[in-house]
Structure 1
């Protein structure tokens, strides 16, 4: 039987497998024949992405899209449209453009995180409310026409910085009443004048509103109080009947601290009675300072039933031990399957001797989780409790131990060192997490030694593991925090780098060697893990090199440009074919690194390198013949296999 003679249902199943394993190959599959095109069209066209830059470009792009859908008879396959960018006819480019506010490549490196952009300018009333049939509204006519040409739209994702136009809202109401609206730039702009303008209330209470992302602040740059958080809680509690997922990003905008007056009282949204209770399935709270917990959670608990939550994220801030204890004692989350949480000792002013016990109680308060991500202070006792409670059901696990880096914080002499994972810890994960498919964990770099290689080999024992994210940790906080730390180097490397610091030449040499992660080393780590792996094949490995030059609060920054160049990060993916073992290797953040290198070269002209650090570098990597730049002279130390 030939491929073309297979029934449509079987061809569709083949297309679905191709799309799952390697989506770029789906287009090639669809071009092989009319039958394959018909079987794969619903996968190719199910989602449409539109990025808006200006009015003329929007019309041109949508016209081409409509023509393609018509030519291939594929409008019936479109189920999701995502719109990004901004459409402002007369406004100048904003100084706080969110595209520029992101740190380079952060989204490539991190999991479930985004920058809080805490120091950017932010004002509640940044632009007037868009009016029906205005020029701003009519500019969206191409998108409105597209919505009318699509018969079965299920999701509209709106991620534009400009407000949703009335014409687009009307098209959704009339043409797609069952379509879910995901509004990722939601905000009331007119709370400053009491009741919001009628159109803002219409948008906020729109029956199709399913998911929102809100950026807000306690007070904005202009000194105006921002009550968007309070308004969002009231929307959840009945005013937005089908709202199920909420993301709140708390900002700390520049200039807001200049206004010392007491905050005004919140008067409430029109129509809010306080009698209803929301039923959110997903709640993400990002950027709130630790001292706002548990009050913040208590306020949310009055507006939505935590028993309905399936996803909870508390990020870019931190739950203290006391807050975790309060949550464990006062709330239950019987349906929760995904937990993403940042933790903090919160011990700047007071000792917190029961932090570990409180954290254990917190994680034991949840039913069996399927996805868990933790960033913050972790110890072996906390890890034991997590794996005992959730190991059997975890499919995704991210553990990122962290401790405050400042040595002296409000009079406190910090000696905390982040937990370092050992071979036994990895084997513990392997033994208790039998269905684990995705793992993110730090590995301490140790000059590519045999003990480091043994750590990598441990991962091939995790049978279900398909995706691995290794944080290659090059820090050494023991230098400043462990009074017993006294490494013995050879005579020359025993010399101090600088009389003001405790660093020895040998310590800096170790830092340089550990940070040096080139493509050859990345490939070698992949081979060590994937070779002879038990169970499922490893499909993706992400390596993030970080921590170089961190020795505690007294970091020695004079060689930071060397550390930045050496500390490269990589994404390695298996080519999805059974008859070969090919992989693709890509450096993450390469564009930003090369731009930074170019700037550093410009600054280096006419000035000498820092003598001590430079001599250390050259003892490891002497200048190559014909070399014009030190960046071309280094290479990573091979694994001691």
Structure 2
């Protein structure tokens, strides 16, 4: 690479560096390593954001020292624009490995996209990354620790933003240092105590978030708004609420906002994910987000309502003239039948909406009237209620006409054993000319119960016999799963089984459909596909029936794979596709844990579900994905981990018999492309 780049003007090299930073960070690292000159050009991107994770004084001192040495060596002190102070190691073992090699644990490639640079219009922000973290029991930081960080900050001459996500309160001396640096402060653990401590520096606050490590009072919204009235330059507000925080909230009691000196650009309300906040569900009236509450909303560009939203007193869409990004969570059981019509009209008439995340939409109601023709990014998910409503497909078949400008799409698709209708849905997505990034959530939920009239006129719950069932499939499943039939269990297995070959095949089907697009301007190739299955455990339940999840969970855990298919970024190899499994380590940990529990109902497995599993993949080929050796070794490691055994250093554990390693004896059914 260096031979081709060495003679290019610095302006072109800088442009290349900026493009790689946005589109493909690993390529930026390769670009920086190609020559000393390229490294100097890429340094502003590599050192734009640094992160310090507080895990004790000794670790913090070592981390700061490593950063100082690296930045001084590479003249990078002036390149740092954003400093993140947090209390959680998001990179886990990779960070430990970097520390062992003398590198900062939070170097460039370990940062997420929103940490490197944050676009207020994107659906995922730094707040989404940090809000779910649980604070350590001891969250105090000594003055010496603060002084260590302060010494580094004084050397960062170009620092503009400080993101703080730690529960310890910032001391006045540290606040004063940030004032002197004229930094924008993003305080994600803001509370009443922080308000008192930071009373003199409120004008520096640009973002505040209430992560609520402790249970809040009923007036959490009022407290957040009272903070806002005292922070003139605040642009972004986040609140993580508990179920009791808005139970009786009506929006009353909020003072007039005429005194606000700035207009918010981002508002976000989330539900707390603390264990003691699981029940009951709650919702908020959208009247919370009004001009009387937050002031002038003309500049509001991003609104994320990640709690169910009621439709009473819904403000008119013209109150949000600049709103481009909206995350909207629907109520799963609205009291009014007009709820869906009112919400749909509100979403459809937002004038500048380009990014929409719509959560828990009702499956029986078409989403077609809701979709805005100018959408560039769409994330659509429905509320699955144990097979009561099948997933609609009308919006998928007409999506190319409804939203022709879509570039990123996350959508649910009903799997049907890879038949011609399922393929037609993939090809319908391929008719989107600008679609580049696709995330498919493949619905593998079973068929619902049907009601059968007995001769005496009574009703009995049963399950349908599908056209592809043979005599064995029509038999009812034993051991408490009746009236489910063997064929329904087998369908769930087939629809949940997503391997690398199937993920790649889906990518090729979607991408090949783009070749037939004509007369719609430039057609962009598909760049990435993420595919995973869900819903396999959502069997309809009835009284006196053992939940099928008890016996199906081990098998669906074995099938639980999430794949990422990416097109090669090099111009001379654009036809090459790279496929890799996401979160493989976590999946293997879950499987090892599940194997430890199988002894509880081993006899049931051998007599019931395991028989269906073996018949589903009774091809005689005992490999998963076509790699017998690696799969057998992984199976041995899982079996050893489940039994608590450890292999000797340098030796692979003994491979279990093929019948015992059933969790890797499967592969996806191919798409029926020949029909």
Matched, 1:41 2:47: no
> Contact (CA 8 Å) 2:318, 2:350: kept in 1 or not?
no
Matched, 1:335 2:322: yes
Once the two structures are superposed, the pairs formed by residues 6-155 of structure 1 within 5 Å of their partners are 6-85=8-87, 112=124, 136-155=142-161
> Contact (CA 8 Å) 1:159, 1:184: kept in 2 or not?
yes
Q: Deviations over 1:384-413 (max 9, x none)?
A: 3233xx21x2110111121444xxxxxxxx
Rounded Cα–Cα distance in structure 1 between residues aligned with 2:61 and 2:130: 34
> Contact (CA 8 Å) 2:243, 2:282: kept in 1 or not?
no
Matched, 1:313 2:291: no
Secondary structure of 2:295's aligned partner: coil
Matched, 1:448 2:418: yes
Aligned to 2:661: 629
Once the two structures are superposed, the pairs formed by residues 483-522 of structure 1 within 5 Å of their partners are 486-488=464-466, 489-498=469-478, 501-522=482-503
Displacement of 1:115 after TM fit? 11
Q: 2:589 aligns with which of 595, 613, 625?
A: 595
Aligned to 1:355: 339
Aligned to 2:99: none
Rounded Cα–Cα distance in structure 2 between residues aligned with 1:273 and 1:121: 35
Displacement of 1:57 after TM fit? 1.2
Matched, 1:232 2:228: no
Rounded Cα–Cα distance in structure 2 between residues aligned with 1:291 and 1:601: 37
Matched, 1:246 2:244: no
Matched, 1:552 2:552: no
Displacement of 1:274 after TM fit? 6.2
Structure 1 pair 421/327, CA: closer, same or farther in 2 (3 Å)? same
Structure 1 pair 444/267, CA: closer, same or farther in 2 (3 Å)? closer
Once the two structures are superposed, the pairs formed by residues 205-604 of structure 1 within 5 Å of their partners are 206-216=202-212, 225=217, 227-237=219-229, 239-252=230-243, 275-277=258-260, 279-287=263-271, 292-294=283-285, 297=288, 301-315=292-306, 317-320=307-310, 322-323=311-312, 326-329=313-316, 332-347=319-334, 350=335, 352-378=336-362, 383-387=367-371, 390-391=372-373, 393-405=374-386, 416-417=388-389, 419-422=391-394, 425-476=395-446, 478-479=448-449, 486-488=464-466, 489-498=469-478, 501-531=482-512, 533-534=514-515, 535-554=523-542, 556-557=548-549, 558-580=551-573, 581-604=575-598
Displacement of 1:284 after TM fit? 0.9
Q: Deviations over 1:274-323 (max 9, x none)?
A: 652462111111128875532761688424333331111111x3124x33
TM-score (norm 1): 0.79
Name the count of aligned residue pairs. Answer: 567
Aligned to 2:637: none
Rounded Cα–Cα distance in structure 1 between residues aligned with 2:19 and 2:10: 14
TM-score (norm 2): 0.75
Rounded Cα–Cα distance in structure 2 between residues aligned with 1:582 and 1:209: 47
Rounded Cα–Cα distance in structure 2 between residues aligned with 1:74 and 1:248: 35
Structure 1 pair 361/458, CA: closer, same or farther in 2 (3 Å)? closer
Query: Where does the alignment leave 5 or more consecutive residues of structure 2 unmatched?
Result: 90-112, 115-121, 273-279, 453-460, 516-522, 623-656
Rounded Cα–Cα distance in structure 1 between residues aligned with 2:432 and 2:362: 22
Q: Deviations over 1:315-371 (max 9, x none)?
A: 1x3124x33xx2145972111111111112434xx5x32233222222134113110
Structure 1 pair 377/468, CA: closer, same or farther in 2 (3 Å)? same
Matched, 1:615 2:617: no
Q: 2:192 aligns with which of 173, 181, 188?
A: 188
Rounded Cα–Cα distance in structure 2 between residues aligned with 1:48 and 1:167: 22
* Alignment root-mean-square deviation, CA: 3.7
Rounded Cα–Cα distance in structure 2 between residues aligned with 1:310 and 1:481: 49
Rounded Cα–Cα distance in structure 1 between residues aligned with 2:440 and 2:143: 47
Rounded Cα–Cα distance in structure 2 between residues aligned with 1:299 and 1:116: 27
Structure 1 pair 552/313, CA: closer, same or farther in 2 (3 Å)? farther
Secondary structure of 1:283's aligned partner: strand
Secondary structure of 2:412's aligned partner: strand
